[in-house]
Amino acid sequence: MKTILITAFEPFDGETLNPSWEAVRQLDRRELVGATVIARQLPCAFGQSLTVLQQTIESVQPVMVLAVGQAGGRAEVSVERIGINVDDARIADNCGQQPIDRPIAAEGPAAYFATLPIKAMVAAIREAGIPAAVSQTAGTYVCNHVMYGLLHYLHQHRPQVRGGFIHIPYLPEQAVAHPGQASMSADSVIRALEAALTAALSVEEDIRQTGGATH
Amino acid sequence: MKTILITAFEPFDGETLNPSWEAVRQLDRRELVGATVIARQLPCAFGQSLTVLQQTIESVQPVMVLAVGQAGGRAEVSVERIGINVDDARIADNCGQQPIDRPIAAEGPAAYFATLPIKAMVAAIREAGIPAAVSQTAGTYVCNHVMYGLLHYLHQHRPQVRGGFIHIPYLPEQAVAHPGQASMSADSVIRALEAALTAALSVEEDIRQTGGATH
Amino acid sequence: MKTILITAFEPFDGETLNPSWEAVRQLDRRELVGATVIARQLPCAFGQSLTVLQQTIESVQPVMVLAVGQAGGRAEVSVERIGINVDDARIADNCGQQPIDRPIAAEGPAAYFATLPIKAMVAAIREAGIPAAVSQTAGTYVCNHVMYGLLHYLHQHRPQVRGGFIHIPYLPEQAVAHPGQASMSADSVIRALEAALTAALSVEEDIRQTGGATH
Amino acid sequence: MKTILITAFEPFDGETLNPSWEAVRQLDRRELVGATVIARQLPCAFGQSLTVLQQTIESVQPVMVLAVGQAGGRAEVSVERIGINVDDARIADNCGQQPIDRPIAAEGPAAYFATLPIKAMVAAIREAGIPAAVSQTAGTYVCNHVMYGLLHYLHQHRPQVRGGFIHIPYLPEQAVAHPGQASMSADSVIRALEAALTAALSVEEDIRQTGGATH
């Protein structure tokens, strides 16, 4: 049976958990549309996260890769449109690195678009009753680092494998410590990821549906 | 066994459900700290909501009353501090009424503070892992109308019965139609209300903990 | 010629200026609708602010009092509807006091509505091209302390004098240190206050215009 | 004397003015650091905006191009980091066009980074007392269309000319019709643009200062 790889991150920025891993680990070994889901955790560190990701891809040989990360403060599940070739860290990563305006791949292009059907994924998550939207930026921290690095690696070494990134809100128990910030339960996130993966596995050509931003 | 009354609202403003009723109805007949919970739905209408509430209080004879309503856009469970003596409706209610700057009780005071231990309730909800905060305003629509009307009625007719109001976020399925707005799952809301009611039944004197706003 | 008193606050919470004083001091000695504006600064301290305010009222003998304060993070000029009888300080005031749930006036009512025509003032500010709205809460810090204390004092000692409170955003130079927060130029604030005072002096009965909040 | 070109947009989305043009037109013929500023308005239309821009570049022969647009709802001056190769319109442009997921340049790269010193520009604007930040996305509407199209054109035809994009908030008079939205006075925007252009003309290598986002 073919496999799909879904990754999440370890906690960072003083948090004791990362909602991405709380959700993603519950999808490990799940079967979806004739594929087996393999869930793996990545370190929240520039460089090392991509090393682990690439080793995992070589070991797991997935037909599709979806990376998931925390976007504290966002209210919706965000399906990322694009990863950009820059590290610019507002806070240090878990290894103490804080790069500023450093390319992820010295010879790489400025950006890669996700190769997953992002509009179909957003539509599927919303049909499951979970708020979702296309996001036009994955930031410039480790999440974007992994998104760009994943798409660069797949482009160079495994062009037939599709890849993308999803950002998720805080868990309610995290938002207790972040007054006024939105949150989403792990159950909702899991259902959203199932819907997104199912859509990504089922849809060849993305649907034509607006998901833009005026700015 | 003594009873406590918890109320919620019917849908309004074009919604097909009201998260307050989706959560509150699941608490009906629940036993908490030696009390039986009675859940009732109120119409979303100035005047009529208070008529139904007062009749229900007379029929149920509760030792405590908690009214619950939807605050679309808020990210946290809000325990309201105060109800004020004014109806000022930005949108029409379910009967088409849209009062502007009209007192709720012509001879009533400008406001009533909740007589439930709001700080202890917020603390209990947060301990249950759900984001919560004191709110300094319940607005000027039907929710505030019910909060003020409830406290005015209890003050005049049943001064030994404590009362208060809790605002809750949209459900995730509602937020699908409100891009960028926060939401909270019905399960989280139910756990929050259980924690709040349990605290309200257990605490005589409210705890001393900041819950203020600079503006 | 009759006088109107407008007050502002000294800086607090680590700021080096307070936008309310930057604007208000430029209105000192201005003539508006046949009245002379007297501008005074209040200390940002529970208790002391009201002592100074009351002494100033006795000395200045105004026909109207408008207090102005900073609401960092708000985007609009907020004309406050109501002051409530509680001090609940999230941060210490400039004298190190941080009261929690303490009444401002032990025997006072729960709240006072502003006695200025708040809807006419909002309309006048908006006609001047400055965003403005009615606010349903002045918080529970020194601003609300002054609003409630002012209205309580006028109610008891000078019932023919009308009073109210306006909250204003950060200045642009303050917002530089508060990423993502809204701001408003001193010029815009001054024009807003002139429009508000002019409306307050010209309008006897407030206009009938919605200014409510659903929550 | 050398010239620099600064562009703004005509009104769109039902507005009667565009804050970018209100500010930019006042910089026309201004001299800055030994250069003359030429200000031009672009149509808010996919395709046509780029045609006009390219003709203007050929006619004006600038050493630098800065395009400016409205970002209604943002509180700060945003210096854009990157333009991406996609049109995805949430609303129709002024010609009724509403493309979805259409590349701007069929053979173009996924994105271009601004070639202006964005960190130095943000620092200069903030030193002028105006809130500013790097933005990681210019959206997917006409603003991004112009930013990507500008950088693509310069890359292909005038690689020695530097280019970039700045998004600005609503004007106060616009925000009157957008309750709760931030605004910025035209004076502040003009001072911000002067500071940004001066920095861009003075700085060869951008400064090393964090301007990233975690998501």
* Domain coordinates in residue numbering, chain C: 2-202
Residue B28, token pair as written in the block: 């009906």
Q: What is the DSSP string of C51-102?
A: HHHHHHHHHH--SEEEEEEE-TT--SEEEE-EEES-B--SS--TTS----SB
Instruction: Supply the ipTM of this predicted assembly.
Output: 0.97
Whether residue C75 and residue D182 make contact (CB cut-off 8 A), yes or no, is yes
From D133, which residue of chain C is nearest by alpha-carbon distance?
A: C179
- pLDDT exceeds cutoff 90 at C109: yes
pLDDT digits (tens, 9 = 90+) for A15-64: 999 999 999 999 999 999 999 999 999 999 999 999 999 999 999 999 99
d(CA A20, CA A16): 12
The minimum CA-CA distance between A213 and chain D, rounded to whole Å, is: 5
Q: Do the bridges between strand A77-80 and strand A31-32 make them parallel or antiparallel, or are there none, so unpaired?
A: unpaired
- Secondary structure class of D11 (helix, strand, coil): coil
d(CA C78, CA C164): 11
Q: Do the bridges between strand C132-135 and strand C77-80 make them parallel or antiparallel, or are there none, so unpaired?
A: parallel
Catalytic residue numbers of A read 80, 143, 167
Instruction: For residue C80, indicate whether it is catalytic.
Output: yes
For residues A63 and A161, is the Cβ–Cβ distance under 8 A? yes
End-to-end CA distance of chain A: 43
Report percent pLDDT > 70 for chain C: 100
Q: Any residues with CB less than 8 A from the CB of A96 and at least 6 apart, and which?
A: none
Amino acid found at D205: E
- Strand (E) or helix (H) holding B144: helix B142-157
Q: What is the pLDDT of residue A127?
A: 98
pLDDT digits (tens, 9 = 90+) for B57-79: 999 999 999 999 999 999 999 99
The DSSP symbol for B150 reads H
Q: Do the bridges between strand B77-80 and strand B162-168 make them parallel or antiparallel, or are there none, so unpaired?
A: antiparallel
- Report the residue from B76, B180, B185 with minimal CB separation from A180: B76
Given the residues C22, C143, C145, C194, the one annotated as active site: C143
A125 to A77, A192, C67: CA distances (angstroms): 8, 5, 49
d(CA C95, CA C44): 8
For residues C175 and C185, is the Cβ–Cβ distance under 8 A? no
Q: Is D126 in the C-facing interface, judged by CB distances under 8 Å?
A: yes
Mean pLDDT for the stretch of residues D61-90: 98
Residue A188, token pair as written in the block: 């909702």
Q: Any residues with CB less than 8 A from the CB of A139 and at least 6 apart, and which?
A: A71, D136, D212, D213, D214, D215
Instruction: For residue C95, indicate whether it is catalytic.
Output: no
The minimum CA-CA distance between B59 and chain C, rounded to whole Å, is: 29
d(CA B213, CA C91): 9
Collect all residues of chain B within an 8 Å Cβ-Cβ radius of residue A79: none
The DSSP symbol for B115 reads S
Q: What is the pLDDT of residue A1?
A: 86
Whether residue B211 and residue C88 make contact (CB cut-off 8 A), yes or no, is yes
For residues B9 and B41, is the Cβ–Cβ distance under 8 A? yes
Mean pLDDT for the stretch of residues D127-148: 98
d(CA B180, CA A193): 19
Q: What is the pLDDT of residue B1?
A: 86
Given the residues B44, B76, B152, B167, the one annotated as active site: B167
- Secondary structure class of B5 (helix, strand, coil): strand
Number of H helices, E strands in chain C: 6, 9
d(CA B92, CA B98): 5
Residue C52 burial class via C-beta count within 10 angstroms: exposed 0-12, middle 13-18, buried 19 and up: middle
- How many Cα neighbours within 13 Å face the side chain of B192? 30
Q: Is C28 in the D-facing interface, judged by CB distances under 8 Å?
A: no
Residue with token string 């400055």:
C130
- pLDDT exceeds cutoff 90 at D204: no
Residue of D46, D101, D148 to mutate, interface with A, max A Cβ within 10 Å: D101
Comparing C-alpha atoms, which of B180, B184, B153, B151 is closest to residue B167? B184
Over chain A, what HEC string results? CEEEEEEEECCCCCCCCCHHHHHHHHHCCCEECCEEEEEEEECCCCCHHHHHHHHHHHHHCCCEEEEEEECCCCCCEEEECEEECCECCCCCCCCCCCCCCECCCCCCCCEEECCCCHHHHHHHHHHCCCCEEEECCCCCCHHHHHHHHHHHHHHHHCCCCEEEEEEECECHHHHCCCCCCCECCHHHHHHHHHHHHHHHHHCCCCCCCCCCCCC
A5 to A64, A120, A168, B150, D111: CA distances (angstroms): 6, 19, 17, 55, 27
Instruction: For residue D205, indicate whether it is catalytic.
Output: no
All residue ranges of chain A with pLDDT < 70 are none
Residue of C93, C115, C215 to mutate, interface with B, max B Cβ within 10 Å: C215
- Partners of chain A (3+ Cβ pairs below 8 A): B, D
- pLDDT exceeds cutoff 90 at D156: yes
The number of beta carbons lying within 10 Å of the beta carbon of residue D106 is 7
Amino acid found at D56: T
Q: Is D80 in the A-facing interface, judged by CB distances under 8 Å?
A: no
Q: Which CATH number fits domain A2-202: 1.10.540.10, 3.20.20.70, 3.40.630.20, 3.30.70.270?
A: 3.40.630.20
All residue ranges of chain B with pLDDT < 70 are none
Q: Any residues with CB less than 8 A from the CB of D106 and at least 6 apart, and which?
A: none
For residues A77 and A199, is the Cβ–Cβ distance under 8 A? no
Q: Is C145 in the B-facing interface, judged by CB distances under 8 Å?
A: no
Amino acid found at D23: A
What backbone phi and psi angles, to 5 degrees, belong to B112? -130, 135
For residues D148 and D160, is the Cβ–Cβ distance under 8 A? no
The minimum CA-CA distance between C71 and chain D, rounded to whole Å, is: 13
- Report the residue from C130, C131, C176 with minimal CB separation from D131: C176
d(CA C175, CA C154): 35
Question: In chain C, positions 161-200, which contact chain B (CB-CB < 8 Å)?
Answer: 167
pLDDT digits (tens, 9 = 90+) for C138-152: 999 999 999 999 999
From A215, which residue of chain D is nearest by alpha-carbon distance?
A: D139
